[in-house]
Structure 1
């Protein structure tokens, strides 16, 4: 009787365990199917411009002329690719030192005041909608550059400035976690050898956490590369390769958002826009693989 009672008490736990396993398996299956479906849909649409409409790889990746309504239509996407890389790389160069220094301040220099005042402000930046960043950039950043430098203020620098503020919380949060996870014995050993605080930071702490810090920078670049609305409002949206950082240009995301609603599904221009979206997705995968490589390097 005691054994049968024990089996009855164990039975609900077995049911709960199998219920959890089935629910988890269904969720994972749904995620996998969703991801592969999105990749297949975007790839099928994006590659149709090459295999159905006859647009050449050389024209999209090598030409600088974008005239989808011309006779014949021209689909040179090189200015948009260069514009996306220029703004995202410049934004990372601006935000990376600020984010890493903010993390050092919050973790190593003044953790009490940093976590009390600086960290809530940086976390607040992550919740602001991108349209607000774009409007602030159009109202403040663009006039500022217009008054200091020649041109209208619209261009790569204005877009990179807005993007750097947007990706600052991502870089700072990952850098803070990396610095907080650093063993305290490493810093104590540096102090025991006679190193000062600043020598310990730039000779021990930063080199040790560099892979994790670079992970935050790469993730910030990934977000900057895929941002559309904020960049669209301040970059000028000119379909050509700029000769100056203060000259208007365009990005992959901005040309997609501006042109997708004016095209017919299945047309050549619509398929070329899907090709640009496929390029964005491919770059996202590259950023993810880079982050994974940096994480494996950090564990060694």
Structure 2
């Protein structure tokens, strides 16, 4: 009996150590994401702080469209044109993406059943698995000549091309979050509307969409964050020309593409090098605010 009792105690102690080990491991995995984000921000902030403190002219940096960091006599660091180009392509991409993504989410959540629903979800998620550089090749080899032939313009690399590619890249995340927002609407809402004689479309339009509006807004905000953070595909589809776009066919240069194109060619520690990290800080703050806003909205949906 004593041997059995001792073996039971040993087994319990062993299980306790295993449970404690897994608990510590899960805690480390959970906290690692926060550590990595904070570490990345500290690194970017450290590299860009020298430019912000010593070389940055706030008015020129945010209000000047002239980006000439390699000029020997009059180096200028204006990101207005890049901000305008990034904002223009993101807004146009969301204008294209949101109607199709929300429509797809409505069909998947409210109409599709069984294998049809699962197949559509797999296909939409497959879009997210396509590498960014592949989307860039599509922009160069397919969309560029298509835009030239369709609209009779000299070049198809610009805002429209980038917006179409970015809309396809943002569609999976927007569709997935929008579908979750529709699923979060209680079935009792739909049943009550149907009991009052509402049709399927009336129920979606008058009941489901208003009830899911916060989730749809968070989906749109995350899509905007995806647009601001995209690099390689936009670099290949934009034409990479520094100017404020006045037409959907104008070429432009994105903030992220500027960092990707110039960082490897600058001297480490130079004002040009540090200015690129200052752009990174600016992008980090924008995407952080967008994601935090979306998170607050989602938390509000869950509490509701």
TM range (shorter): over 0.9
> Which 4+ runs in 1 deviate beyond 4 A?
2-6
Equivalent residue in structure 1 for 2:284, among 270, 277, 281: 281
Q: CA deviation digits over 1:17-60, x for unaligned, max 9?
A: 221233234334544433222111111222211213x2211111
CA 1:273 to 1:82, structure 2 compared with 1: closer, same or farther past 3 Å? same
Query: Please, what TM-score do these two structures have when normalized by structure 2?
Result: 0.92
Q: Distance in 1 between matches of 2:161 and 2:115?
A: 31
Distance in 1, matches of 2:59 and 2:100, equals 39
Contact 1:146–1:153 (CA under 8 A) maintained in structure 2: yes
Do 1:106 and 1:113's aligned partners in 2 also have CA atoms closer than 8 Å? no
State the Cα deviation string for residues 256-283 of structure 1 (Å, max 9, x = none): 1111111000001111111111111111
Equivalences for residues 1-300 of structure 1 within 5 A: 1=2, 4=6, 6-52=8-54, 54-70=55-71, 71-112=73-114, 114-149=116-151, 150-298=153-301, 299-300=303-304
User: What is the CA distance between 1:82 and its match in structure 2?
Assistant: 1.5
CA RMSD of aligned residues (A): 1.8
**Cα drift, residue 195 of structure 1:** 0.9
Quote how far apart the aligned CAs of 1:156 are: 1.1
State the Cα distance separating 1:191 from its structure 2 match. Answer: 0.6
The TM-score normalised by the length of structure 1 is 0.93
- Check whether the contact 1:159–1:231 (CA below 8 A) recurs between aligned residues: yes
List alignment gaps of at least 5 residues for structure 1: none
Structure 2, unpaired ranges of 5+ = none
Cα distance change on mapping 1:35 and 1:120 into 2, 3 Å: closer
**Deviation string for 1:112-138 (max 9, x for gaps)?**
464154323212211111111111111
CA distance in structure 2 between the aligned counterparts of 1:33 and 1:121, rounded to whole angstroms? 34
Number of residue-to-residue matches in the alignment = 299
How far apart, in 1, do the equivalents of 2:10 and 2:176 lie? 48
Change in Cα spacing, 1:114 to 1:211, as seen in structure 2 (3 Å) is farther
1:5–1:258: structure 2 CA closer, same or farther, 3 Å change rule?
closer
Q: Distance in 2 between matches of 1:258 and 1:230?
A: 12
Partners of 1:67 and 1:23 in 2: CA distance: 49
CA distance in 1, matches of 2:97, 2:118: 21
